[in-house]
């Protein structure tokens, strides 16, 4: 770790992601001296390629802006680079390297042939007009297009990149290459997209929670659930929770959170979807619209997030990294939360994870629990290659089976390596082994 920190200074999120995986892998390296000799760990933490570029664009008033764009091509041992694009002011090299690193293991777990990558820009879509977002996306793609392709690197969405942005990005790629290919996933349904891709990450996180609960002969029906975020992942998490008879009582954005004791029903979820996806408003409006709901603004100086301090059985962190710290984890355990299924990437700090594992609760790490999104991206790629579209039932059944398989593999691997019930070890080790064996086969590259 000292070497990782020295070689990658000021990248705390990347250090954190590597530390968590390295801890699990000590169990594997003991049994596989050949991996150590081949310097697999050293190779796997070094991106195969990093592209960093200027994105200059003009706002509606004619003023010029300069942002920084990135694509991290982390590992292509088992397939073309695959992973989302994030547009958020906090984006930097370290954040994208952590995300690309996690993606390698996650994609390996999906059972589909996808390597790992991630990209994005420090652009803030908030408060920008559609025309400004379009010009930014076009400027971004004017550089990115030379580094990606349907058999090279296939980007998708992440924070700040949804259906609108994918459309603008794809449009410019197609224009530059004069080719209609499956170069992006999360496309619109009339131009190569897959049904269920918008729903997939949230649905998958709920399927994963249900699989974990099954090991204790329990189900989601009747359970109270804390959900953070109110974007793509949070929305479809709540959607599936409603279908399964669970009661979701919270949602949030970067300004604050709402607590709705009565539970978020279909009508309220419809309001949130329109608010966030069309009007691009703030979650505080929820409490103005529905009596009984309480809005609490976020206090950035507080040492904990009150969203995680309500009585519940299950939690679905679906906003961003490190949103559950040690204090939050303590509060959750005191409130009897015993299922955590991470929709977001690395939402729990190392100290928080330790508490969950020590308490022996059902803790599904993001690499496993939120893999449904990229898995369905893989299904979109498969449909594009075959030039056909599957039905909702077909894609949902495949997503469900993939989540079930990921759960099974994590469970079996954790057991095999002497830590039964530890899905963190299960996910890290199973994901690593697939990539590691491919790297061994392909020689020193």
The helix or strand, by DSSP H or E, that contains position 25, with its residue range, turns out to be: helix 12-31
Please report how close the Cβ of residue 38 comes to ligand NDP at its closest, in angstroms. 30
Beta bridge partners of 82: 154
- In the complex with ligand NDP, the residue whose CB is nearer, 162 or 378, is 162
Q: Are strands 81-87 and 64-75 parallel, antiparallel or unpaired?
A: unpaired
Q: CA distances (Å), 151 to each of 147, 155, 219, 402, in order? A: 11, 11, 40, 22
Contact map string, positions 139 to 178, toward ligand NDP, x by CB under 6 A? ------------------xxxx-x----------------
379 belongs to the binding site for ligand NDP (CB under 6 A)? no
Residue 214 a catalytic site member: no
Q: Measure the CA–CA gap between 224 and 238, rounded to whole angstroms.
A: 11
The angle that helices 371-386 and 93-109 make with each other, rounded to 10 degrees, is 70
The single residue among 185, 230, 232, 428 that binds ligand 2IT, judged by CB under 6 A, is 185
Q: Measure the CA–CA gap between 22 and 428, rounded to whole angstroms.
A: 9
Q: Confirm if 410 and 368 have CB atoms less than 8 A apart.
A: yes
Q: Which one of ligand NDP, ligand 2IT, none interacts with residue 230, CB within 5 to 8 A by kind?
A: ligand NDP
Please report how close the Cβ of residue 232 comes to ligand NDP at its closest, in angstroms. 4
Order of all β-strands in the sheet with 362-364:
247-248, 224-227, 314-316, 339-341, 362-364
- In the complex with ligand 2IT, the residue whose CB is nearer, 343 or 426, is 343
- In the complex with ligand 2IT, the residue whose CB is nearer, 182 or 352, is 182
Total residues interacting with ligand 2IT, rule: CB under 6 A? 12
Q: Measure the CA–CA gap between 336 and 192, rounded to whole angstroms.
A: 44
Neighbours of 245 (CB within 10 A): 11
What residues from 67 to 106 belong to the interface with ligand NDP (CB under 6 A)? 88, 90
- In the complex with ligand NDP, the residue whose CB is nearer, 344 or 409, is 344
Piece of the chain touching ligand NDP by CB under 6 A; list 51-59, 230-238, 284-292, 399-407: 230-238
The single residue among 229, 364, 426, 431 that binds ligand NDP, judged by CB under 6 A, is 229
The single residue among 192, 352, 373, 426 that binds ligand 2IT, judged by CB under 6 A, is 373
Residue 10, helix vs strand vs coil: coil
Q: Measure the CA–CA gap between 208 and 214, rounded to whole angstroms.
A: 10
Please report how close the Cβ of residue 346 comes to ligand NDP at its closest, in angstroms. 8
Q: Measure the CA–CA gap between 207 and 400, rounded to whole angstroms.
A: 7
Work out the angle at residue 444's Cα, subtended by the Cα atoms of residues 439 and 445, and round it to the nearest 5 degrees: 80
Beta strands (DSSP E) in 59-170 are: 64-75, 81-87, 116-121, 153-156
Q: Measure the CA–CA gap between 315 and 79, rounded to whole angstroms.
A: 33
Total residues interacting with ligand NDP, rule: CB under 6 A? 25
Q: Which one of ligand 2IT, ligand NDP, none interacts with residue 223, CB within 5 to 8 A by kind?
A: none
DSSP 3-state helix, strand, coil percentages of the chain (rounded to 5)? 50, 15, 35
- In the complex with ligand 2IT, the residue whose CB is nearer, 240 or 367, is 367
107 belongs to the binding site for ligand NDP (CB under 6 A)? no
84 belongs to the binding site for ligand 2IT (CB under 6 A)? yes
Q: Confirm if 238 and 201 have CB atoms less than 8 A apart.
A: no
What is the total residue count of the chain? 445
| Annotated catalytic residue within 82, 97, 106, 118 | 118
Piece of the chain touching ligand 2IT by CB under 6 A; list 50-58, 347-355, 371-379, 383-391: 371-379
233 belongs to the binding site for ligand NDP (CB under 6 A)? yes
Which residues are the active-site residues? Answer: 118
- Where do contacts with ligand 2IT occur on this chain (CB under 6 A)? 82-84, 103, 106, 156, 158, 185, 345, 373-374, 377
Binding site for ligand NDP (CB under 6 A): 88, 90, 157-160, 162, 201, 229-234, 253-255, 318-320, 343-345, 370, 373
């Amino acid at each position: 770790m000292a070497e990782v920190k020295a070689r990658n200074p000021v990248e705390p999120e990347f250090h954190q992601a590597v530390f968590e995986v390295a801890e699990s892998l000590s169990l594997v390296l003991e049994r596989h001296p050949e991996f150590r000799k081949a310097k697999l760990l050293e190779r796997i933490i070094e991106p195969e390629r990093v592209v960093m570029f200027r994105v200059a664009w003009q706002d509606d008033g004619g003023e010029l802006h300069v942002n920084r764009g990135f694509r991290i091509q982390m590992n292509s041992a088992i397939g073309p680079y695959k992973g989302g694009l994030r547009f958020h002011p906090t984006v930097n090299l370290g954040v994208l390297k952590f995300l690309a690193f996690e993606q390698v293991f996650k994609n390996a777990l999906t059972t589909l042939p996808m390597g790992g990558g991630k990209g994005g820009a420090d652009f803030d879509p908030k408060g920008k007009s559609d025309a400004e977002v379009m010009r930014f996306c076009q400027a971004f793609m004017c550089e990115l297009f030379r580094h990606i392709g349907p058999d090279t690197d296939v980007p998708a969405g992440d924070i700040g990149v949804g259906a609108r942005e994918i459309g603008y990005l794809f449009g410019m790629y197609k224009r530059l290459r004069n080719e209609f290919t499956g170069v992006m996933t999360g496309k619109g349904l009339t131009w190569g997209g897959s049904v269920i891709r918008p729903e997939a990450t949230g649905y998958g996180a709920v399927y994963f929670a249900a699989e974990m609960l099954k090991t204790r002969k329990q189900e989601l029906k009747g359970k109270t659930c804390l959900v953070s975020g109110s974007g793509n992942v949070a929305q479809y998490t709540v959607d599936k929770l409603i279908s399964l008879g669970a009661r979701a009582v919270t949602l949030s954005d970067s300004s604050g959170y709402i607590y709705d004791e009565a539970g978020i029903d279909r009508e309220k979820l419809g309001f949130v979807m329109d608010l966030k996806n069309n009007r691009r408003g703030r979650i505080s409006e929820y409490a103005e619209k529905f009596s009984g709901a309480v809005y609490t603004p976020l206090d950035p100086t507080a040492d904990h997030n009150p969203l995680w301090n309500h009585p519940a059985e299950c939690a679905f962190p679906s906003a961003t990294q490190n949103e559950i710290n040690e204090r939050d984890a303590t509060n959750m355990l005191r409130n009897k939360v015993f299922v955590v299924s991470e929709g977001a990437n690395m939402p729990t700090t190392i100290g928080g994870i330790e508490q969950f594992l020590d308490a022996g609760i059902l803790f599904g790490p993001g690499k496993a629990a939120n893999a449904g999104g990229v898995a369905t991206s893989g299904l979109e790629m498969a449909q594009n290659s075959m030039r056909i579209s599957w039905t909702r039932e077909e894609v949902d059944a495949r997503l469900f089976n993939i989540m079930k398989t990921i759960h099974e593999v994590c469970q079996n691997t954790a057991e095999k390596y002497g830590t039964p019930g530890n899905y963190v070890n299960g996910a890290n080790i199973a994901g690593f082994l697939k990539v590691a064996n491919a790297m061994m086969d392909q020689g020193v590259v």
